[in-house]
Amino acid sequence: MPQSASLQHAAEPQHQPEHNHLLNALSEEVQQRLFPHLELVEMPLGKVLYESGDVLRYVYFPTDCIVSLLYVMENGSSAEISVVGFEGLVGVALFMGGESTTSRGIVQSAGSAYRLLGQRMKDEFNRHGELLHLMLRYSQALITQMAQTAVCNRHHSIEQQLCRWLLLSLDRLKNNHLVMTQELIANMLGVRREGVTEAAGRLHKKGVIDYSRGHIVITNRQKLEQLSCECYAVVKAETDRLLPLYTKTR
């Protein structure tokens, strides 16, 4: 499997393509065609995978990182439209026919991902087999998340938005710990930093999170879900409905 020498140490059993749910859901036949062309890459916090208008060359399958898709305005302000972790992939525009996108892809939580050359992905997609059907279902789940995020940002409080964002991020991590400054969270939500500071303070007082120097620990998930608006539940239910088969019988 091609990969840089600097990542040889990372290609041990703790990193496997099957750690990404979409790759794991594929049959052995499809895996045998794709896996030899996967490249394990590091995904450090803040790494920009592509900018708005860039022609996409790769798709990325996260294993233990989270990638945020942001829409960036002409004045430089931005807002998150979706998050992608080990449940999905980054770069749907490549096989949907657009080749480019109006969003920016940036690593929100550091980790690793497997990337695949875009042409390899399109070749398999154009077989009109199981990958096509899986990607269409994933794209529908992603569209649901984007639509619900837009509604949430318009109609719900910053505290509710923060709860939704924390829950979506938590679902894509293997623990309850996030490394994220309040300034970055504000950029993701498209709100003022002071609003995030106040909302995070209220969640801390309610015993939901601990926050210190860019480290957030979720201490009471059940209460976090109760404080969140319905948007999180809608996104989770639709994702679970569309992508139920993360494991399979070989």
**Domain edges within the chain:** 8-153, 157-228
pLDDT for the residue numbered 50: 92
Q: What is d(CA 22, CA 15) in angstroms, rounded to the nearest whole number? A: 15
pLDDT of residue 244: 66
- Paired with 116 in beta bridges are 59
* Count of other CB atoms within 10 angstroms of residue 63: 23
CATH of 8-153, one of 2.60.120.10, 2.70.70.10, 3.20.20.70, 3.10.110.10: 2.60.120.10
Residue 50: phi and psi, rounded to 5, are -165, 155
**pLDDT value, residue 14:** 79
pLDDT of residue 101: 81
| Cα 66 from Cα 135, distance rounded (Å) | 19
Which residue in the block uniquely carries the two structure tokens 């807002």? 79
By the 8 A CB rule, do 87 and 243 touch? yes
Task: Assess contact for 81 and 149: CB atoms under 8 A.
Answer: yes
Strands (E), 133-223: 177-179, 209-212, 215-218
What is the rounded CA–CA span in Å between residue 219 and residue 207?
Answer: 7
pLDDT in the model for residue 13: 56
HSE-up of residue 69 (Cα within 13 Å, Cβ side): 21
Task: Name the pTM for this structure.
Answer: 0.85
The secondary structure of residue 97, as a DSSP letter, is: T
- Contact residues for 228 (Cβ-Cβ < 8 A; gap 6+): 160, 163, 164, 167
User: Across the 250 residues of the chain, what is the mean pLDDT of every consecutive 10-residue run?
Assistant: 44 78 94 97 93 91 93 80 93 83 89 95 93 93 91 87 90 82 73 82 90 85 92 90 59
| pLDDT at residue 195, rounded to an integer | 81
The CATH number of the structural domain formed by 157-228 is: 1.10.10.10
Q: Is the dihedral of CA 34, 121, 240, 203 positive or negative?
A: positive
How far apart (Å, rounded) are the C-alpha atoms in residues 246 and 22?
7
Collapsed DSSP state (helix, strand, coil) of residue 39: strand
